[in-house]
């Protein structure tokens, strides 16, 4: 029993020494190379141990001349300032070719043997350097920059003026509608400011069809019918929405409109464009924005099976759209309705002008502040309100607005019907 224990102890000690020597063969050459990286290459002093334990081939020491070169393909020592390529240049052409073939064959055989034996492959060469071309902002960047350039224009018309400027979007999505002399009556007109989202398709369609559909509905409804004008406005919005949805385009548009008829203002809106009336210099908001932050809009959406979610500080329908009413938006139509809110009020002599604008203005400029600016500009001689539109637009951008801005000022004195 004691003999067996002594044998086990001896075997354990032998195994420990074996493992220690094997670890030293790996660590000692690395330590020596780190200690003196600039010294000439020399074989590790433990090469005989490596030869015994690992069965590897030892190499002979190099001469004292540090400029000597070791041929990586043949493991042979070459004289200073001479490589295998230079040496081969002195040989005839046929010998060079046969020598290259032999080198290739030997390299393939040794590589195969190294892989089969599990030893590291000494003949494997470093892959070629990957050359990445330098970035040069050429025509592509120039084209994109042209798309992002500011787009701005102004329109001066009878009883109205308008200024529009593109924000940081790729395309201008704001638009407007002006129809004068509706049904041949100079006292009747239709004005609207349109703000598209998800592209210009919906905004362009609203510009072409909303006013026309409302006027066509007016002609078909008897004037003596109760709330005939309000009914025509609702039908016009509904038909415009249905016709656009049938095209299968995914964009949408908000719109704030004013129908001036028979000495009255009929104001309608879907979305977050707004209309503000100046009455003796006092601002009166005629519309409310349809956004999910409104409690009644949020409840309506949730009752219809939808949900609202706050993203980056903005409440959105289904986590997607910030407005709760719009024309279009086929993917959200179950919750984003096109039903407008309508307000009716008579035109009186104290009604001076309307400011109709997209949310790019109202998010940065207050109602009374906008009215004061227009009053200040219109109080100057030979001023028709265009400077006021441009100043309001510039005020919004100075305060950090990045959205498109459209501002329309409508003078109301021409549409007032005298009772005398």
Q: Considering only 26-40, 130-144, 260-274, 375-389, which range has the smallest mean pLDDT? A: 130-144
Q: What is the pLDDT of residue 108?
A: 47
pLDDT for residue 126: 54
Average pLDDT over residues 127-147: 41
Which CATH number belongs to the domain containing residue 335 in this structure?
3.60.40.10
Q: Which token pair is 322?
A: 């910030």
Backbone phi, psi, residue 324, to 5°: -100, -10
Helix (H, G, I), strand (E, B) or coil at 143: helix
pLDDT value, residue 10: 75
The pLDDT value recorded for residue 15 is 76
Q: Which residues contact 294 (CB under 8 A, 6 or more apart)?
A: 288, 324
Task: State the Cα–Cα distance between residues 256 and 269, nearest whole angstrom.
Answer: 4
Residue 234 in any domain: the answer is yes
CA–CA separation, 178 and 211 (whole Å): 9
**pLDDT interval class at 318 (50, 70, 90):** very high
Residues 112-135: tens digit of each pLDDT = 444 444 444 545 555 445 444 443
Q: How deeply is 323 buried, as exposed, middle or buried, from its count of CB atoms within 10 A (0-12, 13-18, 19+)?
A: buried
Q: Is the pLDDT of residue 60 over 70?
A: no
* Residues 176 and 77 reside in one and the same domain: no
Q: Is there a single domain that holds both residue 55 and residue 75?
A: no
Domain co-membership, 188 together with 248: yes
The predicted pLDDT at position 216 comes to 94
Q: Which of residues 49 and 360 earns the better pLDDT score?
A: 360
Tokens 């020598």, located at residue: 99
Task: Give the pLDDT of residue 141.
Answer: 35
pTM as predicted: 0.65
| Domain shared by 349 and 282, yes or no | yes
Same domain for 178 and 275: yes
At 236, give phi and psi (nearest 5°).
-65, -40
Q: Are residues 251 and 399 in the same domain?
A: yes
Do 202 and 339 reside in the same domain of the chain?
A: yes
The token pair that represents 141 in the structure block: 């960047």
**Spatial contact of 230 and 236, defined as CB atoms under 8 Å apart:** no
pLDDT of 33? 55
Q: How many CB atoms lie within 10 A of CB 409?
A: 25
Contacts of 404 (CB under 8 A, 6+ apart): 164, 165, 166, 167, 169, 172, 173, 174, 195, 358, 360
269 and 244 in a single domain? The answer is: yes
The predicted pLDDT at position 226 comes to: 74
Q: Are 236 and 245 in contact (CB under 8 A)?
A: no
Q: Give the domain range for residue 42.
A: 14-61
- Same domain? For 190 and 82 the reply is no
Is 295 a member of any domain?
Answer: no
Where does the pLDDT of residue 98 fall: very low under 50, low under 70, confident under 90, or very high at 90 and above? Answer: low
Based on the domain organization, do 85 and 206 belong to the same domain? no
**In the structure encoding, which two tokens stand for residue 352, read together?**
């001076």
Report the chain's C-alpha Rg in angstroms: 42
Q: How large a percentage of the chain has pLDDT more than 70?
A: 67
Q: Are residues 98 and 200 in the same domain?
A: no
> DSSP letters of 169-206?
SSS--EEEEEEESGGG-TT-EEEEEEEEESSSHHHHHH
Please count the structural domains in the chain: 3
pLDDT at 189 > cutoff 90: yes
């Amino acid at each position: 029993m004691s003999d067996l224990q002594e044998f086990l102890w001896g075997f354990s000690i032998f195994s420990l020494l074996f493992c220690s020597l094997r670890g030293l063969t790996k660590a000692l050459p690395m330590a020596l190379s780190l200690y003196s990286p600039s010294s000439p290459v020399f074989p590790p002093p433990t090469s005989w141990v490596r030869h015994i334990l690992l069965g590897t081939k030892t190499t002979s020491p190099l001469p004292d001349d540090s400029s000597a070169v070791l041929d990586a393909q043949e493991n042979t020592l070459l004289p200073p300032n001479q490589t295998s390529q230079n040496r081969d240049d002195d040989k005839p052409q046929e010998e060079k070719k046969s020598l290259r073939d032999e080198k290739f064959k030997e390299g393939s055989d040794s590589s195969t043997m190294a892989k089969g034996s599990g030893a590291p492959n000494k003949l494997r060469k470093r892959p070629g350097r990957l050359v990445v071309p330098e970035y040069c902002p050429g025509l592509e960047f120039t084209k994109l920059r042209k798309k992002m350039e500011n787009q701005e224009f102004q329109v001066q018309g009878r009883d109205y003026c308008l200024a529009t400027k593109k924000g940081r979007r790729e395309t201008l999505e704001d638009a407007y509608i002006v129809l004068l002399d509706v049904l041949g009556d100079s006292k009747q007109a239709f004005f609207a400011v349109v703000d598209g989202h998800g592209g210009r398709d919906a905004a362009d369609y609203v510009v072409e069809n909303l006013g026309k559909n409302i006027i066509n509905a007016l002609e078909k409804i008897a004037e003596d019918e109760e709330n005939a004008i309000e009914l025509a406005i609702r039908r016009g919005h509904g038909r415009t929405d249905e016709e656009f949805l049938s095209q299968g385009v995914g964009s949408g548009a908000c719109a704030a409109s004013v129908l001036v008829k028979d000495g009255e203002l009929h104001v309608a809106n879907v979305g977050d464009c707004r209309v503000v009336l100046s009455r003796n210099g006092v601002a009166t908001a005629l519309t409310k924005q349809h956004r999910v932050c409104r409690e009644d809009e949020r409840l309506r959406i949730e009752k219809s099976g939808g949900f609202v979610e706050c993203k980056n500080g903005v409440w959105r329908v289904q986590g997607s759209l910030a407005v709760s009413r719009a024309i279009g938006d086929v993917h959200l139509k179950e919750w984003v309705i096109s039903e407008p809110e309508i307000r009716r009020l008579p035109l009186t002599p104290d009604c001076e002008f309307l400011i109709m604008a997209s949310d790019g203005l109202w998010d940065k400029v207050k109602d009374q502040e906008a009215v004061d600016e227009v009053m200040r500009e219109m109080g100057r001689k030979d001023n028709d309100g265009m400077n006021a539109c441009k100043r309001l637009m510039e005020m919004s951008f100075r305060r950090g607005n990045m959205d498109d801005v459209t501002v329309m000022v409508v003078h109301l004195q021409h549409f007032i019907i005298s009772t005398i």
